[in-house]
Amino acid sequence: MLLTTKQLFQQCYGRYAIPAVNVFFMEEIHGLFAAAQEADAPFIVQTTPFARDYANADMLLSMIGAASRIYPNVTFAIHMDHGYESHIFDAIEKDGYTSVMIDASHDPFDKNVERTQEVVRRAHEKKISVEAELGILAGVEDDLTVDAAHSFYTNPQQVEDFVKATDCDSLAIAVGTSHGAYKFSGGQGLQFHILAEIQERLPGFPLVLHGGSNVIPEVVERINAAGGKLKTDAKGVQEDEIRKAIPLGICKINIATDTRLLWTMVNREFFRDKPDEFAPTTPGKIFMEEYKKFMLKKFDLFGCTGKA
């Protein structure tokens, strides 16, 4: 069943979180839908403008549509991640998304409000949910790099005014995570006091955690053992941090880096061990299985197994 993110968050608030996974190609979509059907777990499949430009939006949406017929017993939303107006308005008109994110978090507060309001107005006319963002995450996002010095935690004193002014349906906040494989290089971890203060000012309102990858140490080690050169201070969000964040209102946790690392691990190991092979489908099959196993574990950790 295809739902909006608003509908999914009404079910899960404070009890479990829903993984929102970035997809770029077919094998990921198979792995994701297969896992969700087996776990009976709700999920959010999401695409960035980069993914849409890479694969073509029609190609991605068609594959997601096909997956929902191949795996008919799933409950999910289709979301545009880190959207900007050109992609969002195009998507609202024709694409079948049930949710979009407007990421105007790099703009000053008033400009962020103004851009978000316009997206909310046009999305709500089509019953599409809107995620907005307040605060700036460090890390790499598409072609935009934000260094730690230019990232800002969300100011809890601004969240009420922002949500009231924009009428957005969920809010992405900056509470210490960053995008990519090198979160918490300084060991700082999630800022729970900020998260708690935000929840206090927005009781019951769905919050979104970007940069939610775990950056599994074993996966990083296996990549490097198979010829990769990832830096050893790669580090992600810990499992206990996820469990603590859910009762504080985190309803959606974004994951992109973990599944990329998984792809890299499978393919590096495969071609190291089978240098005479060249069929993409053989490592592709291994990747789909690994992806599915990875998602089953995430569903358990986020508490959403059996909740679809």
181 binds ligand G3H per the rule CB under 6 A: no
- Give yes or no for a contact between 237 and 212, defined as CB atoms under 8 angstroms apart: yes
105 binds ligand 13P per the rule CB under 6 A: no
Placement of tokens 């694969």 in the chain: 55
**Nearest to residue 297, comparing CAs of 93, 19, 65?**
19
Strands 207-209 and 144-146: unpaired
Within 10 Å of residue 118's Cβ, how many Cβ atoms?
Answer: 16
H or E element, residue 221: helix 217-225
Q: Pick from Na ion, ligand 13P, ligand G3H, none: which does 241 bind, CB < 5 to 8 A by kind?
A: none
81 binds Na ion per the rule CB under 5 A: yes
103 binds ligand G3H per the rule CB under 6 A: no
Least Å from the CB of residue 157 to ligand G3H: 26
Is 65 labeled as ligand-binding?
no
Sole binder of Zn ion in the list 210, 268, 298, 307 (CB under 5 A): 210
DSSP secondary structure of 164-201: HHH--SEEEE-SS-BSSSBTTTTS----HHHHHHHHHH
176 binds ligand 13P per the rule CB under 6 A: no
Residues touching ligand 13P, count (CB under 6 A)? 14
- Active site includes 81? yes
Q: DSSP secondary-structure letter at 40?
A: T
Residues touching Zn ion, count (CB under 5 A)? 2
142 binds ligand G3H per the rule CB under 6 A: yes
Is 87 labeled as ligand-binding?
no
- Whole-number Å distance between alpha carbons of 66 and 70: 6
Residues that bind ligand G3H (CB under 6 A): 22, 48, 50-51, 81-82, 141-142, 179, 256
Residues that bind Zn ion (CB under 5 A): 210, 254
Question: Would you please indicate which residues are annotated as catalytic (active-site) residues?
Answer: 81
